[in-house]
């Protein structure tokens, strides 16, 4: 198996902070330095940190086609990995760029692009950094319409139906995978949704979509999430509603890991 990380197996006992189990309980967000956690819909930096430790080497290039507040890019920069983040909203990308820059170092390159990841020319973006492949793709798309990120019709959170959402997400997958090096990895972070009195298993729909792209499914990770901004201070109400009805309160999301073998 080709080497795809920097782990020294002779020291495996020392890697106590690197996850190898499929259940991830992360209680506290890493809010250090440029990680601000202000962006509604961000993920905890520990997710990219863990994934980059297992699936990338120093000097690799990482692509995040749903950059948001730049959590992946900050983590990549800290870990000596180059990265490209694509974000459809100009003001969000600008704010992220400024914050990422506060931790800039000369060891790695970090590029922020404002574009629609469904249709942007990935080869051109990579060529501007004199590369033609990336070694890891991390995707944290909108969980369909749970959080409306913008008014832009090409923003995935504005899709009118689940099929439209999957179709749009499929375009981002195809576009991103076209520049992923063979035998390297891609991760999708996504949760489910509840609508019309039933669960919409967004996570599994997205997992199936990825599998249809001839990728090998390597892991289904379940990660806890604490209070979202929308539900903070409302725990009691939600618990009452659940007890009075027939549903369970979502407390987890998924991280799916795939390997590109073709
Ligand atoms: C779930 S958030 C990602 C958050 C990010 N992981 C963070 O920690 O801040 C999804 C992001 O994708 C962006 N987005 C939605 N549709 C997009 C598209 N077609 N191309 C690029 N970005 C898109 C949204 O504006 C939003 O910032």
How does pLDDT run across 208-257, given as a tens digit for each residue?
999 999 899 999 999 998 765 555 678 899 899 999 999 999 999 999 99
Q: Region 59-76: what's the mean pLDDT?
A: 98
Any domain includes 8 = no
Domain coverage including residue 42: 21-260
Any domain includes 133 = yes
Closest C-alpha to 125, from 76, 168, 61: 61
Ligand 1 atom having least distance to the Cα of 65: 21
Pocket of ligand 1 (CB under 6 A): 39, 41-43, 65-66, 68-69, 71, 86-89, 92, 116-118, 140-142, 149-150, 154-157
Q: What is the rounded average pLDDT for all residues in the chain?
A: 95
Any domain includes 195 = yes
Any domain includes 229 = yes
pTM for this predicted structure: 0.96
Cβ burial of 177 (10 Å; 0-12, 13-18, 19+) is: buried
Residue 41: what pLDDT? 93
What is the rounded distance in angstroms from the CA atom of residue 58 to the CA atom of residue 194?
40
Q: In this structure, what CATH number is given to the domain that contains residue 219?
A: 3.40.50.150
Distance (angstroms) between ligand 1 centre and the Cα of 140 equals: 7
- Number of domains within the chain: 1
């Amino acid at each position: 198996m080709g080497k795809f990380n920097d782990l020294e197996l002779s020291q495996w006992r020392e890697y106590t902070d690197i996850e190898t189990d499929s259940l991830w309980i992360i209680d506290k967000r890493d809010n250090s330095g440029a990680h601000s956690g202000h962006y509604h819909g961000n993920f905890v930096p520990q997710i990219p940190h863990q994934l980059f430790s297992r699936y990338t080497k120093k000097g690799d290039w990482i692509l995040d086609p749903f950059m948001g507040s730049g959590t992946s890019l900050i983590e990549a920069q800290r870990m000596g990995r180059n990265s490209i983040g694509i974000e459809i909203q100009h003001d969000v990308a600008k704010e992220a760029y400024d914050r990422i820059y506060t931790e800039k170092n000369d060891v790695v390159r970090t590029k922020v692009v404002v574009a629609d990841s469904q249709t942007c020319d990935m080869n051109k973006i990579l060529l501007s950094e004199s590369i033609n492949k990336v070694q890891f793709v991390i995707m944290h798309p909108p969980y369909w319409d749970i959080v409306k990120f913008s008014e832009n019709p090409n923003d995935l959170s504005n899709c009118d139906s689940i099929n439209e959402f999957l179709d749009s997400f499929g375009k981002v997958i195809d576009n991103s995978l076209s520049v992923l090096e063979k035998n390297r990895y891609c991760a999708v972070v996504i949760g489910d949704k509840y609508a019309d009195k039933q669960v919409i298993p967004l996570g599994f729909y997205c997992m199936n979509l990825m599998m249809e792209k001839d990728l090998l499914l390597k892991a289904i990770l379940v990660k806890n999430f604490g209070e979202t901004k929308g539900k903070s201070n409302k725990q009691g109400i939600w618990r009452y509603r659940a007890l009075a009805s027939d549903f369970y309160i979502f407390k987890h999301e998924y991280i799916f890991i795939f390997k590109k073998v073709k």
